[in-house]
A and B are shown apart, each in its own frame.
Chain A
Amino acid sequence: MPRNIPFHDYITQRTTRPKLSLLSLPNDLFVDLIFSELSIQDILYLRATCKTLYALTHQPAIWKRLLVNYHIPIHPLPPSEVYSLGSLSGFEAERLLSRSIGIHANWKSKTPRIFKAWRFPMWHPISSMKIAPGGKYLFASVCTNVNKYALKLCMLDHRVKVAYPIAILDVGPKPYNLDVKYMRCRGELGLAVTYMTRSPRRRRDADVNVSEYDDGPQVDFPVPILYHLSTFHVPYSALHVMQDPRFPPGSREYWDHANQLPLPFVSVGGVVSRSRFECTDMDEIDGEPYLVYAQGNTIVVKNLHSQGISHFNCYALVPLEQSTARSYAIRAIRILPTQRELLVVRTNDKNTRHPVFLEVYRIPCDGEMRDDGSGPPPEAKARSWNSIYEHGRILQVRISAHGLPHPRDASVHATRKHHAEPPPVSVYMVVEADNFWGTRQYRLWPERVPTAGVRDLEPMLSFTEAVQLFEAEAEVTIPLTDLQNLLPDSQDGVNLEADTVTSSETGTPAPHDAMVVTGTPTPNTASGTNGTPIRASAPVPISETTFRFPVRGDNVSRIAYQLGAPERIRLHFLPGVARALVYGTDPEDRTIAPSLKGFYAYTDHFRPPAPDARWPEDGAWRAAAEAECEWADAAMAPRTQKDGALAVLPILGVRQMHPFHGGVLAMDWEDCAGKLCFTSGQEPGTVYMLEFAPGPTEEKDGHRVPLPVPDVDQEFRI
């Protein structure tokens, strides 16, 4: 009772019907009933009303319920039970949602921004790095001594330390071309990391430091060298022990504990060769871990469990003259695990007016096409392919990661409704000729098919050409000053095959028809009506379906952005899964840490094809996800088709120092959680991490900022 009011006044005040506050309701009514009716946006606005609601809106139950019920795609997590719905903290659940909505809206916005910038020491100079899917771990190749290199495993997203190194593996020569994936090896779930190294072939050359040379293909080494491709597995059980929350990282107890533990790295496969490894990929197919790499025209498939090796040569492109057929080089590969196929992109470097081949090869089962050293690899025919004429030199080819979930995901993704569509697999290219340059994107849309028949599907176009000729004259040329306002010149190829048919119907054959590649005399049946057994079959329940990425005329869309005359800038793609980051460098800059000449968020503005009508859930799911993101999209001012594909990203100065000064030594981009890690040439032992998605923040004692919230699940968590 206030002291200065006489008692009778106080009574009368009480009886004059004060305005009732909703806060007089029991708290569980808010958390269980009212908040369950509200969207994330409403809950965030409510959080700002008063301290009581600020605390109530941090209840884990609210965010876990939203996480399960929301339709937006959530970024991948380690597929372990540590991240299951029951074990997830409220903070982590809120962060997952906030990041997934935020990066989606931020990447499409006219002015994408950086929400947080972190800086953490790695103690040793870094030469390359790779973030694990979902952005929870970072592998970095570091130099520990002269000609001595190591692989460092860092944990990211730690609630107190943000990032800290948890294990180091001495390698010897410099590891490069790192790739990281969650895979099950020898029955244990964990992180698989693969990398390349090189060493002198002859013992007497052991003093020659071949690690110091560039990792690209055009390097003449002074001595003959050997190439190594190594794969290590870090079981999740070992990782989890290292992250024991009882020992805060950096403390003496932590180091004592960590030093007692055995090294978590388990070697699961190594390959030594005299020739270069062009590109690698690894994935889990039918529960077995596979490593695939390309050497010249040969694809080698290694089962990391049984160590069995199969190999085959990519189909020699017979219809072309033999001389050009040889100049085709494998530029990028990607395993498509559900369909047990390998996407291969081949281009011709000798001819400036040449087709790009998107091919799909079946990955041989164990025992097939075995490499027993008896002779050259057998030639395999692509199951389906698409060849597209592109002008100019193709400088870079990158394939995005597929967004298919891990088949035995035990994280919160298993609890969510698991029939969400993955993003398309995109092939990104940078094309340059004498009078223009630009970017190309080929999107392979996922197609829902019954799980039972996904492998048996015959290619839709078995060597029927789906060749499309794109005329440079028809494309829009934009002066370079408008780089951020790139206009799409065409969305050709939503139906490549249909386009071809149309042009022949109108009686104006494409001028370069003579170059159309005809593989087999299969008649070009009109516009995608090739009857397939799967199209005709009755729909199966959605739980018995999966996705595949067919390379088929009506399924590949080409998005080309054309720019003016080549300037002193060369674009590079960091593809991610669904959101590519593009940066530019000076083509003449051959230093180890080239300086950045531009930094862009790439978005294509083309809507996905309509979902398969046989499974109406897909359409409903897509519409619901769009509705859930609408407010965030509106808040961030999305760019439209008119604004172009690229938006300039800010390059932050951190602590008065411009971290991009002195060039970039190493960089990696994780697009699902919106994390960019890089090391500048000025500070080779420091990692900068930029977050492009908003997320809640927490203090060391587990309290949220700016106000403390009683945290019910503060204890015993990572």
Chain B
Amino acid sequence: MPTIVSVDDSTVPGEGSSRLLLLVSSDNKHIVVEEDIMSRSRFISKQVEGFEATSQRHAILLPFSSFVLNKVIEYCSHYRGYYLLEDDPDAAPPGRSPVREWDQEFLDVDRNMLLRIIKAAHYLEIKSLVGSCARAIADMIRGKTTEEMREILGVENDFTPEEEHSPSSKCTG
């Protein structure tokens, strides 16, 4: 039997006006969360629309661990009821995501975790969180040398020596 984990004990199911959703993470944790918290996610919103069309409510299976999912829910709870321009599907997308201080503290995690969060946010289609994560990744690689960037990004140098030493590969500077 899967264990059912309530996100926040204060929001007892049934008391609030919002309806509840059951999210199942990849490590088989069941998480109950209020629908309007997760409405920031386009993916969840579309699922809910599907429920209303068929008037059947299912658990939503998500391909990432409860650890990551809780982090995303923490983000969504913080911005519950806030209007963020990037998440508005009808608004024109802003050129660059704005800097939000809370997000910077929230994303002050190791790079593996950051990567998992951005993947989860991308899957759930939470544009504001994806933007903040991308900004955090950009902050990590900004001003670094190529070797440091390889370390941060976790990529291997797959150039052949001739390719690497070609003068045109370093086009400026």
Report the Cα distance A54→B163, complex, angstroms: 11
Q: Does A146 contact B (CB under 8 A)?
A: no
Contact partner, B155, options A23, A45, A69, Cβ 8 Å = A23
Contact partner, B173, options A22, A29, A44, Cβ 8 Å = A44
Nearest residue, chain A, Cβ from B112: A20
Q: Does B100 contact A (CB under 8 A)?
A: no
Report the Cα distance A515→B171, complex, angstroms: 56
Q: Report the minimum CB–CB distance from A363 to chain B (whole Å).
A: 41
Q: Report the minimum CB–CB distance from A2 to chain B (whole Å).
A: 16
Contact partner, A20, options B115, B134, B163, B173, Cβ 8 Å = B115
Instruction: Please give, as numbers and ranges, the residues of chain A lying within 8 Å of B149 by CB-CB distance.
Output: 45-46, 49
User: When the two chains form their complex, are residues B131 and A697 in contact, meaning their CB atoms are under 8 A apart?
Assistant: no
A13-54 contact mask (Cβ, 8 Å, vs B): 1 or 0: 000000111111110010001111111111011111111111
Interface residues of A in 679-718 (CB under 8 A from B): 694-697, 705-707
Q: Does B146 contact A (CB under 8 A)?
A: yes
Q: Does B82 contact A (CB under 8 A)?
A: no
Instruction: Please give, as numbers and ranges, the residues of chain B lying within 8 Å of A44 by CB-CB distance.
Output: 170-173
Nearest residue, chain A, Cβ from B131: A33
Instruction: Please give, as numbers and ranges, the residues of chain B lying within 8 Å of A54 by CB-CB distance.
Output: 159, 169
User: When the two chains form their complex, are residues B172 and A52 in contact, meaning their CB atoms are under 8 A apart?
Assistant: no
Instruction: Please give, as numbers and ranges, the residues of chain B lying within 8 Å of A697 by CB-CB distance.
Output: 168
Report the Cα distance A44→B173, complex, angstroms: 9
Nearest residue, chain B, Cβ from A105: B173
User: When the two chains form their complex, are residues B155 and A705 in contact, meaning their CB atoms are under 8 A apart?
Assistant: no
Report the Cα distance A641→B130, complex, angstroms: 47
Instruction: Please give, as numbers and ranges, the residues of chain A lying within 8 Å of B118 by CB-CB distance.
Output: 25, 29
Contact partner, A22, options B115, B135, B162, Cβ 8 Å = B115
Interface residues of B in 128-171 (CB under 8 A from A): 130-131, 134-135, 137-139, 141-146, 149-150, 152-159, 162-164, 166, 168-171
**Dominant SS among interface residues on chain B:** helix
Instruction: Please give, as numbers and ranges, the residues of chain B lying within 8 Å of A118 by CB-CB distance.
Output: none
Known contacts A24-B119, A45-B144, A53-B155, A34 near B173 by CB under 8 Å: no
Q: Does B71 contact A (CB under 8 A)?
A: no
Contact partner, A19, options B135, B146, B154, Cβ 8 Å = B154
Instruction: Please give, as numbers and ranges, the residues of chain A lying within 8 Å of B141 by CB-CB distance.
Output: 38, 42, 46
Instruction: Please give, as numbers and ranges, the residues of chain B lying within 8 Å of A41 by CB-CB distance.
Output: 172-173
Known contacts A19-B112, A33-B134, A706 near B157 by CB under 8 Å: no
Report the Cα distance A37→B130, complex, angstroms: 13
Known contacts A42-B142, A45-B145, A706 near B163 by CB under 8 Å: yes
Q: Does A234 contact B (CB under 8 A)?
A: no
Q: Does A632 contact B (CB under 8 A)?
A: yes
User: When the two chains form their complex, are residues B144 and A632 in contact, meaning their CB atoms are under 8 A apart?
Assistant: no
Complex A-B: 9 CB contacts under 8 Å: A21-B154, A34-B138, A37-B138, A45-B144, A631-B173, A694-B172, A694-B173, A697-B168, A707-B169
Extra pairs beyond A48-B164, A48-B169, A69-B95 (9, CB < 8 Å): A22-B154, A25-B118, A39-B142, A48-B170, A54-B159, A94-B171, A632-B172, A705-B166, A706-B163
Chain B interface (Cβ < 8 Å from any Cβ of A): 95-97, 111-112, 115-116, 118-119, 122, 130-131, 134-135, 137-139, 141-146, 149-150, 152-159, 162-164, 166, 168-173
Chain A interface (Cβ < 8 Å from any Cβ of B): 19-26, 29, 33-42, 44-54, 69, 94, 98, 101-102, 631-632, 635-636, 694-697, 705-707
Query: 7 nearest interchain CB pairs?
Result: A37-B138, A33-B134, A706-B166, A21-B154, A22-B153, A635-B173, A48-B146
